[in-house]
Chains A and B, each alone.
Chain A
Amino acid sequence: MDVLELARWQFAITTVYHFLFVPITIGLSAIVAWYHSRWIRTRNEEHLRMAKFLGKLFTINFALGLVTGIVQEFQFGMNWSSYSRFVGDIFGAPLALEALLAFFLESTFLGLWIFGWGRIPERLHAACMWIVHIGTVLSAYFILAANSFMQNPVGYRINPQTGRAEMSDFIAVLTNEVQLVAFPHVITASYMVGGAVVMGVGLHKLRKVTRDAKGDDVADRRMYRHATRLGAVVTLVAGLGMTISGDLQGKVMTDVQPMKMAAAEALYETPPEGECAPFSALTIAGLGGEDPTHVIEIPCLLSFLGTGTWDGQVQGMVELENEYRAKFADGELTQADTYIPPIAVTYWNFRLMMGAGFFAMAVAAWVLFATRKDRVPMQRWVQPLTVLAPLATVLGQSFGWIFTEVGRQPWVVFGEMTTRTAVSPSVGATDVWISMGVFTLLYGALAVVEVRLLLDYIRRGAEPFEEPRLVEDDEPLQFAY
């Protein structure tokens, strides 16, 4: 593999891995903060126990999200220095603001929350976790603004003297139309992940305490039931928000990146005037050729997804390719062999993303039904669902990202710079081999450690209630490393 291939693989591996933890961090911090605040309001001991229990899972996860994020920040300069030179004027600003506004908040207030038991007045202490949550959301905003610029560059002009893209309107960068639909989509999806994790863990524990019911398990059962149902409600509501924002996103995408929408459906030919575009739920073969075989096809749905009307015009890839060739083939930074992205990857990830989301929503709806009144679904086949539903939401996010990033190829910045011109010219293949190998091995090992640790803590469950109180100078702390 050459440097370009390697750098792309490294970016894919490190980014997808990083983004396994990010949505959990966003979603779970909100639920932990909610439980913590509920405890202060209601003095319901179970809520404090849940806040601490989920807080532990949160911190285990946060650690990995953070360290893999640092790699991301360095990677643009290390592997994509031409890209960094070309758009640094615009792209660097949101990254720097993310650190200044979001990362300091997250890390400082998480430190205050973890070590603050018995040291900080309780309302302020609970507020710390809310601030952590705000930090995670702010962070998502800035990084998505940066990403949206790559999808749909706005607020810039090319300076002929410096040969680079320069900022002309920062507000436009922060309110990019792609950003305005991508941000709600990612945030609702993240709440869905948080909800599904709490639902999955709650249901697993609920079934467990019900099975080995002992004398004092009534409180535990009530506690886990509450978490299960809370998680399910969050999953459903967020899932609804995600569906709506995803639909809006489809329309913006058809508008600004029509090639990506066409690739999502493997639509080669623009349907004749007056005819709508169908959506295929399942296709066998034909994704590389000119004649795909759709097994299940829903008439006109693609037109609706793309334009909001059942007979809207959706352009096919062949027409777009000709358009882009005429427009871009002469530019030094914009030449490409083809302007069609890898179709099979986009096609399948688009469907896997939606399928995973709808699956988790269906499980959540069923869980709400199955746990109504005092019921606990004890059937053996329920157990896999406690793992599959949260997993589906997390993987759904990954599929979504793979779709959105592969779907914009060959562009790194749409219409301005192709990915192959973005790579570092001074970095050799050996260096990238080494770093890709190191990160892959390290990330793999850390994944094993993290999963083991999470399972360990889930198995142990919530600790017994302990009344928090302010610590005096000479007595042991409530929490220390």
Chain B
Amino acid sequence: MDLILIWFVLLAVLWTGYLVLEGFDFGVGMLLPVLGGGGFKARTPHLNQRVETRRRTLLTTIGPHWDGNEVWLITAVGATFAAFPHWYATMLSGMYLPLLLLLVVLILRNMGLEYRHKRTDTTWVRRWDLTIIAGSVLAPFVVGVVLTNLVHGLPMTEHLAGTTKYTEFDGSVLSLLTPVALLGGLTLTVLCLTHGAHFIALKTAGPLRSEASALGQRVGPVAAILTVTLLVALGISRGMAASWVVSGVAVVALLAAIAANARGAEGWAFTGTSATIGLTVVSYFLMLFPNAINGRGASPDLTLQAAASSPLTLTIMTWAGVVFTPIMLGYTVWSYWTFRRRLSVDHMPAVSESHP
């Protein structure tokens, strides 16, 4: 059970890494039409220079990082495949259509981030802006729905294939759209929005910084109300002492983040929302344990024990993780350190297609 537990904890770490890191770049994407200005119009007669420079500044704050942030998701899913193949198989085939939607919006969002600046004509730029915005809203929403479903419980059934029994999803796409799951999606989206506002306040200078901070003040309380509602709703059906404590700390961290933002302590505000997202993931995983997927009602659970790989595979994966994770964290930190400076609209070079 030890190795299984280790990998369960590591998956919690990977999801935390993913949602804390990509969470802020989702937030930046969502705020493009708000802090950047210009709204959602796909067609404007000409690129408004002020809007364009602000949007470029916002995107540049996440430019060097968003791609690496997304690898946390790829690693989380890959690690699930390696450490808990039945979890991977049941989750991905069971939540087929939501995951298809996730893939599509991630593809369009990534292409937007990569291609937006490759040409300067208005239609091109604005259309990719739309894919960035839509992707930044929908991706955390779908991830929230998926993760909440795992905890809240799915209709499941036991299958017998040959001599082996396994637990399989037994429902339709409609059984994924429960009020709690949808609340999970909405909460994660608004949390990312707040997190992104705190990130922009931390990473920019000038008007963008103060506007982001002010916007954080407005959405922070909404995020707090949603988070409390979600964690209470999940806690009532799945909670135990430890998860209630962690959920409580997550909410306190969010309140502290809001307070820090109000006092202009942007680093602490960002740390606070990071902690909230991380602790919410921890609380989810506590409510999941010792299962990989909770069964809804009388449905059987998919236990970690039943979902796990053989001890040898888990041992190999553990060693690989022990050796390579510090290296990966090292250069990731270096990359953030390299691009640590605040950006302002004055830092934006003239629009040019001359650099890769």
A residues adjacent to B (C-beta < 8 A): 52, 55-56, 58-60, 62-64, 66-68, 70-71, 73-74, 76-79, 81-82, 84-85, 87-93, 95-101, 103-105, 107-112, 114-117, 119-120, 159-160, 162-164, 166-168, 170, 332-333, 424-427, 431, 434-435, 438, 442, 446, 449, 453, 456-457, 460, 463, 466, 473-481
- The answer on a CB contact under 8 Å between A170 and B114 is no
- B45 neighbours in A (Cβ, 8 Å): none
Q: Are B59 and A481 in contact (CB under 8 A)?
A: yes
Asked if A466 and B164 make an inter-chain contact with CB atoms under 8 angstroms apart, the answer reads: no
Q: Please, which residues of chain A bring their CB within 8 A of the CB of B347?
A: 475-477, 480
Can you list 9 A-B pairs with a CB-CB distance of less than 8 A? A74-B77, A84-B89, A100-B79, A104-B328, A117-B355, A119-B338, A453-B119, A477-B60, A481-B116
Does B221 touch A at the CB level, under 8 Å? no
**Chain B binding surface, main DSSP class:** helix
Given contact pairs A60-B114, A76-B81, enumerate 17 new A-B contacts (beta carbons under 8 Å): A52-B356, A62-B114, A63-B110, A70-B74, A74-B77, A79-B93, A92-B80, A97-B320, A104-B328, A107-B71, A114-B64, A431-B97, A435-B96, A435-B100, A460-B353, A476-B350, A481-B63
The residue that B93 contacts in the complex, of A78, A164, A434, with Cβ under 8 A, is A78
Would you call A170 and B316 a contact (CB within 8 A)?
yes
Q: Is the CB of B338 within 8 A of A55?
A: no
Q: Are B310 and A89 in contact (CB under 8 A)?
A: yes
Residues on the A chain within 8 Å of B158, using CB: none
Report yes or no: B316 in contact with A59, Cβ–Cβ below 8 A.
no
- Complex interface residues of chain B between 74 and 118 (CB less than 8 A to chain A): 74-75, 77-83, 85-86, 88-94, 96-97, 99-100, 103-104, 106-108, 110-111, 113-118
- Chain B residue nearest to A466 (CB atoms) is B354
Chain A binder among B166-174, B178-186, B268-276: B166-174
Give the CA-CA distance A56 to B356 in the complex, in Å: 4
* CB contact under 8 A between A73 and B313, given known A67-B111, A104-B332, A119-B338: no
A85-B166 contact in complex given A73-B77, A77-B91, A167-B312, C-beta closer than 8 Å: yes
Contact, CB under 8 Å: A66 / B67: yes
In the complex, the answer to whether B328 meets A100 with C-beta atoms within 8 Å is yes
A76 CA / B130 CA spacing, docked (Å)? 30
Given A74-B103, A481-B117, also A96-B312 (CB < 8 A) = no
Interface-centre pick from A59, A74, A475 (highest chain B CB count, 10 A): A74
Interface size on B, residues (CB 8 A): 83
With a CB–CB cut-off of 8 A, which chain B residues contact A95?
Answer: 78, 81-82
Beta-carbon contact of A64 and B82 below 8 Å = no
Q: Whole-angstrom distance between the alpha carbons of A425 and B107 in the complex?
A: 27
Contact for B111 among A115, A168, A446, CB less than 8 A: A446
- Bound complex: CA of A91 vs CA of B81, how far in Å? 8
Q: A63 contacts B349, CB within 8 Å?
A: no
| Contact between chains at A88 and B309 (CB < 8 Å) | yes
Q: Kindly list chain B residues whose C-beta atoms are within 8 Å of the C-beta of A64.
A: 111
Q: Does B175 contact A (CB under 8 A)?
A: no
In the bound assembly, the distance between CA atoms of A111 and B267 in angstroms comes to: 23
For the complex, give the distance between the alpha carbons of A333 and B164 in Å: 13
Task: Say yes or no: is B297 at the interface (Cβ < 8 Å to chain A).
Answer: no
Task: Decide if A166 touches B310 in the complex (CB within 8 Å).
Answer: yes
Expressed in whole angstroms, the minimum distance between the Cβ of A146 and any Cβ of chain B is 10
Q: Is the CB of B320 within 8 A of A100?
A: yes
In the bound complex, residues from chain A placing their C-beta under 8 Å from that of B80 are 92
- 10 smallest A-B Cβ distances: which pairs? A88-B85, A77-B92, A92-B82, A163-B164, A92-B81, A63-B114, A111-B64, A81-B89, A96-B78, A107-B67
Contact of A427 among B67, B81, B93, B317 (CB under 8 A): B93
How far apart are the CA atoms of A162 and B162 in the complex, in Å? 10
Question: Is B324 interfacial (CB-CB < 8 Å)?
Answer: yes
The reply to whether B356 and A96 form a contact with Cβ atoms under 8 Å apart is: no
Distance in angstroms between the alpha carbons of A343 and B249 in the assembled complex: 63
C-alpha gap A97/B59 in the complex (Å): 30
Chain A residue with Cβ nearest B310: A166
Which B residues are in CB contact (< 8 Å) with A431?
96-97, 100
Given the known A-B contacts A77-B93, A95-B82, are A108 and B356 also in contact in the complex, defined by CB atoms under 8 Å? no
**Contact among B71, B115, B331 with A103 in the assembled complex (CB-CB below 8 Å):** B71
Query: How many angstroms between the C-alpha atoms of A192 and B124 in the bound complex?
Result: 33
Alpha-carbon distance A408/B56, docked complex (angstroms): 49
Residues of B within 8 A of A67 (CB): 106-107, 110-111
